[in-house]
Amino acid sequence: MELKDFFAEHPRAALAFSGGVDSAYLLYAAAQWGADLRPYFVDTVFQPRFELADARRLCGELGAALQVLPVDILSVSPVAENPPDRCYHCKRAIFSAIAAAAERDGYPLLLDGTNASDPEEDRPGMRALRELEVRSPLRECGLTKDEIRQLSRKAGLFTWDKPAYACLATRVPPGTAIGRRDLERTEQAEDYLARLGFRDFRVRLLDGCARIQVPAAQLPLALERRGEIFSELRQFYSGVLLDLEARNE
């Protein structure tokens, strides 16, 4: 099946929209094939501000009416407690909020941007999507991440080379309760490193310290700027550590 066939069969649907590579291309493709796809962005403390800004920018460029749904995700106890299956409870809450809003708006089918490159094992988040009967057209049509990036570049979407981004909650070790301050300092630290020119990196919480993970090609930059990085991040963490095991790009 190709995307045009999917949208011919399902011309009206809601989309869980993150402003990332996959959901951005899916929204673009739906418009190209004449489908009515309504994007919903769930705004929680797990999403940094740039994600919402990117979502608004992309929808503005495509002429799509973005719906922003505020959700207090830390009020969901199994999420805030951060057990190993936190992602299941988080996805369940987020997609339930989208499904409820979409139903009120007259969109009975809910889609997401999972692609054919995403792992197929029984991950907690994927289990939640199956339970809520969320469809993944990119995966169903066999489109891989590389193909989606190429198609996005050809379409002129600014998201085509956007690095993959996991929510801020993934910076807190499983089993450690998630607090707002943990998320705030993570966002501040990562915003700072992004301004220095780092890409596709993470600042993880480790016993009160910041554990910085960067791709191998960016290790020299981290060492070159280590003094100022330490000075900036020391405001938010008890220590600042650079992981010499490079992050896979």
Asked if residues 236 and 226 have their Cβ atoms less than 8 Å apart, the reply is: no
Provide the pLDDT confidence category of residue 242 given band limits of 50, 70 and 90: very high
* pLDDT tens figures, 113-140: 999 988 766 677 788 888 989 999 999 9
pLDDT for the residue numbered 194: 95
Closest CA to 219 of 242, 192, 186: 242
pLDDT for the residue numbered 124: 74
DSSP H/E element including 8: helix 3-9
pLDDT for the residue numbered 201: 94
How many CB atoms neighbour CB 153 within 10 A? 13
When comparing pLDDT for 19 and 70, which is higher? Answer: 70
Interatomic CA distance for residues 103 and 14, integer angstroms: 9
Query: With pLDDT > 90 as the criterion, what percentage of the chain qualifies?
Result: 88
Interatomic CA distance for residues 28 and 53, integer angstroms: 17
pLDDT greater than 90 at residue 193:
yes
Provide the pLDDT confidence category of residue 16 given band limits of 50, 70 and 90: very high
pLDDT greater than 60 at residue 249:
no
Strands 209-213 and 202-206: antiparallel
Share the mean pLDDT of the chain. 94
Give the CB-side neighbour count of residue 11, counting CA atoms within 13 A: 3
Q: What is the mean pLDDT of residues 161-186?
A: 93
Asked if residues 67 and 40 have their Cβ atoms less than 8 Å apart, the reply is: yes
For the purposes of burial, counting CB atoms within 10 Å of the CB of 154, is it exposed (0-12), middle (13-18) or buried (19 or more)?
exposed
pLDDT for the residue numbered 127: 87
Among 126-135, 178-187, 224-233, the range scoring the smallest mean pLDDT is 126-135
Cα separation of the two ends of the chain: 30
What is the pTM assigned to this prediction? 0.91
Interatomic CA distance for residues 212 and 226, integer angstroms: 11
| Cβ density class 84-116: b for 16+ within 10 Å, e for less | eebbbbbbbbbbebbbebbeeeebebbbbbbbb
For residue 82 the two structure tokens come to: 């951060």
